[in-house]
C-alpha cells in the first residue's frame, strides 16, 4: 500500500508587512519546495498568509505574490486587527478545516524565525513527535532590557508552575492530532505558548538562531510584551489572587503591631507629633495596596467579562 506524504501548511500571520513579504516568501517557499522534491511532504503543500487587518498595502502585496506563485499561496484577510494569537489560530483552523492539512507550522513572516529548520521540524514529526517547538538558541541579539524582561518572565512562570517552553515564541509544528485538539480550546484570551504544552502529545525541540527582521519594524514593543505576559499569567494561574489573600493577612497582622506601637507612643511618647506616623504612613501604604489588589482583581473580572460574551476570535473578510 502506497503511503502518501503529509500535506504541509505553513501559517504566516501578517500585520503591516508591506515590503517584507516579497523578500521572505520566496525564501520560505524554497524550503517547502525542497521538501516536496524530496517527497517528504505532499505536492499540495501550501503557504497560508493571514492578513490581520493591516493598515498598509500588505493585502495588495499578498495578491501580487499569489499571482507570481499560483497554486502555492493561500490567504485570508481578517476584517480588522484581532491580534497575533488570534491570527495564528485563524490560520491553523482554516488549514485544518479547508485545506485538510496533516502538518501545520506557524512562524513569523519576517525571517526572524529561521526557515532552514523547517526540514528538521518535519523530520522530527516523521520520527513520531506530534509537536515540535522552534526554540531560540540564544538571546544575544536582544536589547538588554528585552533580554532581562524575558528572563524574569520565565522565572515567574516557572515559579507559578505554568508549563511553558522558555525562549519559544510561536514557531512550532503541530501534527493533525495536536491541531484537532488545539482547535477545541474555546477561550477568547488566547495564549498559544501556554495552551500547546497542555495538549500533552509527544513533543521535542529544534534550536535556531533568531535573526534580525529583513525589513519593517517589530510589532512587539515592551508594552505589548507586558500585556502578553500579564495575559499568560492570568490565563493559566490563580496565583495572583492567592497572593492578594496572603497580602491581606500579612497587612492585617502588620496593623495589629502598628496598633501596639501607636499605643506605646501614646503611653511613653518622646515628643513626636502625636498621631502623625500612625495615620499618614498606614494611609498611603494601604491605599497603594488597595489600588494594586483592585487592579489584579479587575484583570480577572475583565477576562470573565470577555469570555462570557462569546464573541468570535476573528472574522474573515476575504479568502484568496
The set of residues, in sequence order, having a beta carbon less than 8 Å from that of 212 and lying 6+ positions away, is 112, 141
- Predicted local confidence at residue 88, as pLDDT: 93
- pLDDT-wise least confident of 47-56, 63-72, 185-194, 198-207: 185-194
Higher pLDDT among residues 138 and 309, named by residue: 138
The set of residues, in sequence order, having a beta carbon less than 8 Å from that of 37 and lying 6+ positions away, is none
Q: Decide if 213 contacts 111 (C-beta within 8 A).
A: yes
pLDDT at position 288 over 60: yes
C-alpha cell at 191: 495564549
pLDDT at position 2 over 50: no
Higher pLDDT among residues 302 and 204, named by residue: 204
To the nearest whole number, what is the mean pLDDT of the chain?
Answer: 81
**pLDDT tens digit sequence for 8-61:** 999 999 999 988 899 999 999 999 999 999 999 999 999 999 999 999 999 999
Amino acid at each position: 500500500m502506497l503511503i502518501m506524504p503529509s500535506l504541509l501548511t505553513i501559517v504566516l500571520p501578517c500585520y503591516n508587512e508591506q515590503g517584507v513579504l516579497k523578500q521572505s516568501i520566496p525564501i520560505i517557499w524554497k524550503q517547502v519546495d525542497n521538501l516536496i522534491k524530496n517527497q517528504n511532504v505532499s505536492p499540495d503543500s501550501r503557504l497560508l498568509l493571514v492578513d490581520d487587518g493591516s493598515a498598509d498595502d500588505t493585502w495588495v502585496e499578498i495578491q501580487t505574490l499569489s499571482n507570481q506563485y499560483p497554486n502555492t499561496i493561500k490567504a485570508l484577510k481578517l476584517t480588522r486587527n484581532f491580534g497575533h494569537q488570534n491570527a495564528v489560530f485563524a490560520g491553523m483552523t482554516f488549514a485544518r478545516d479547508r485545506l485538510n492539512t496533516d502538518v501545520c507550522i506557524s512562524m513569523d513572516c519576517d525571517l526572524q524565525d529561521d526557515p532552514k529548520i523547517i526540514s528538521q521540524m518535519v523530520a522530527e514529526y516523521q520520527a513520531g513527535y506530534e509537536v515540535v517547538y522552534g526554540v531560540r538558541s540564544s538571546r544575544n541579539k536582544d536589547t538588554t532590557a528585552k533580554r532581562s524582561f524575558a528572563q524574569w518572565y520565565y522565572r515567574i512562570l516557572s515559579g507559578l508552575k505554568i508549563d511553558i517552553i522558555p525562549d519559544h515564541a510561536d514557531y512550532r509544528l503541530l501534527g493533525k492530532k495536536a491541531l484537532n485538539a488545539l482547535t477545541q480550546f474555546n477561550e477568547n484570551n488566547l495564549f498559544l505558548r501556554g495552551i500547546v504544552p497542555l495538549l500533552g502529545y509527544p513533543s521535542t525541540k529544534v534550536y535556531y538562531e533568531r535573526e534580525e527582521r529583513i525589513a519593517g519594524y517589530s510589532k512587539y514593543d515592551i508594552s505589548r510584551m507586558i500585556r502578553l505576559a500579564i495575559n499568560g499569567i492570568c490565563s493559566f494561574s490563580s496565583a495572583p489572587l492567592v497572593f492578594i489573600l496572603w497580602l491581606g493577612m500579612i497587612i492585617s497582622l502588620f496593623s495589629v503591631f502598628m496598633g501596639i506601637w501607636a499605643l506605646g507612643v501614646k503611653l511613653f511618647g518622646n515628643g513626636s507629633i502625636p498621631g502623625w506616623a500612625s495615620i499618614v504612613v498606614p494611609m498611603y501604604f494601604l491605599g497603594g495596596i488597595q489600588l494594586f489588589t483592585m487592579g489584579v482583581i479587575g484583570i480577572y473580572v475583565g477576562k470573565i467579562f470577555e469570555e462570557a460574551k462569546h464573541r468570535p476570535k476573528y472574522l474573515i473578510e476575504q479568502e484568496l
